[in-house]
Amino acid sequence: MRLSYRIGTAALLIVAIILIKRHLDLVQDDSRVQSGWSFNGVSGGEGGGPGLSEPVASDKNQNNNNGANTPAAKGGFSMVGDGKNGPSADHKNNEDDDGIALGSRPMYETTPIIVPNDRVIVMAKLAAEDTAWVSNDLADWRNFIYTVDDINAAKHTPKNKGRESLAYLQYIVDHYDDLPSTIVFMHSHRDGFPVAWHTDTMVYSNVDSIRALQTDFVQRNGYANLRCQPSPGCPDEIRPFRDPPQQGQTTEHVYADAWKQLFNNTDVPEVVAVACCSQFAVSRDQVLKRPLSDYQWFYEWVLTTPLNDDLARHVMEYTWHIIFGQDPVYCPDTYQCYEDVYGTPYL
Ligand SMILES: *[C@@H]1O[C@H](CO)[C@@H](O)[C@H](O)[C@H]1NC(C)=O
């Protein structure tokens, strides 16, 4: 009994070793083939030139069909090949390979590059607030959550100024060169009344609204306000030239000066309106329509304006849609807005 067990075990081991060795050989063979290709492509002297430049050259040939590019291609070869850095046997091999490479070029498979989670939620929070719900409930979104009142937090703004404004701008300034295609800017409250009163869904839920968000509309329009209910904000919240002007330091009262500082021009609109509350989505393409320096400029403005926290925030609240390419009055029909932003006219 024992002996037969041992023999059986030994036989199994041998079979396993043979299988593993075969597998390793196969893997090695694969990598040998691959390194052979890359050797041809990168460092194969005369042979290497065509490996790299042939696709371009042959494309050009097809397009131009006049051979004008041949000298250029030859120049390319000679630059690479002048070193005469291979024994002739190598050349021969490479030339053979080139024949194959040329013939089989159209057989290369291409794989589209799909970036997972190509969308992000950007948020400002107070140190005391719990925003774990963002990762838990909106797990297929990346998130960047800035603590505005604790400079020791992993992600933080240098100051608690303009409420969410610095966090929103900080994200753009820091990530201008690697933005995902959809960026949602929103508040730290998950749902419920009164904290999330300005979220449109049944239980004022930012989770429901983001799950329903039509990112293709964001891509098409560049900007989508997450709120469709017109009030407050529409149809004419800010009239910088109201006559007589509002009393005291209201947003409307300070808006014209703020505009001139923000945009370096005096084309202050007669009316500025947008559904309230600074929750919106933008596309990367829309963000990139402005140079990075603009966002740095807005950031600096929020950081340094003598306007208080609340006024600075309100000025930005009535400026985001303009920064992101919309007319000063952005008050789409409520049902159209629901249809566009959430995919149903009856949210
Ligand atoms: C405004 O002008 C300043 C100084 O010339 C410049 O650095 C900044 O980028 C401008 N901002 C905008 C939004 O045009």
Q: Hey, where are the domains in the chain?
A: 119-235+275-342
Q: How many whole angstroms from 38 Cα to the centroid of ligand 1?
A: 48
Give me the chain's average pLDDT, please.
80
Region for residue 63 given its phi and psi (left: phi exceeds 0; alpha: psi -120 to 50; beta: otherwise): alpha
pTM for the model stands at 0.68
**Ligand 1 near 133 CB (within 6 A):** no
pLDDT tens readout for residues 51-82: 333 343 334 334 433 333 333 333 333 333 33
**Counting beta carbons within 10 angstroms of the beta carbon of residue 298, is it exposed (0 to 12), middle (13 to 18) or buried (19 or more)?**
buried
**Ligand 1 near 265 CB (within 6 A):** no
**Ligand 1 near 336 CB (within 6 A):** no
Task: Give the ligand 1 atom nearest the CA of 290.
Answer: 13
Right CATH for 119-235+275-342 from 3.30.70, 1.10.287, 3.90.550, 3.30.1490: 3.90.550
Nearest Cα to 221, choosing from 209, 213, 212? 213
Lowest mean pLDDT among 88-97, 191-200, 287-296, 330-339: 88-97
Quick check: 200 pLDDT over 90?
no
Q: What type of residue is 47?
A: G
Nearest Cα to 130, choosing from 190, 193, 184? 190
Q: Is 224 helix (H, G, I), strand (E, B) or coil?
A: strand
Residue 256, φ and ψ in degrees, nearest 5: -60, -45
Nearest Cα to 240, choosing from 258, 262, 264, 261? 258
Distance (Å) of CA 299 to CA 101, 161, 174, 250: 53, 10, 11, 21
Share of the chain above pLDDT 70, in %: 73
CB atoms within 10 A of CB 27: 10
Question: How many Å apart are CA 316 and CA 302, to the nearest integer?
Answer: 8
Task: Answer for the pair 209, 201: CB distance below 8 angstroms, yes or no.
Answer: yes
Q: Is 125 helix (H, G, I), strand (E, B) or coil?
A: strand
**Ligand 1 near 293 CB (within 6 A):** yes
pLDDT tens readout for residues 216-229: 999 999 999 999 99
Task: Give the ligand 1 atom nearest the CA of 262.
Answer: 13
What pLDDT was estimated at residue 102?
53
Radius of gyration, CA atoms only, the chain: 31
Rounded to the nearest 10 degrees, the angle between the axes of helix 292-304 and helix 165-175 is 150
Contacts of 152 (CB under 8 A, 6+ apart): none
Distance (Å) of CA 218 to CA 48, 118, 222, 305, 320: 46, 13, 5, 31, 15
Instruction: Give the CA dihedral 278, 279, 284, 290, nearest 10 degrees.
Output: -10
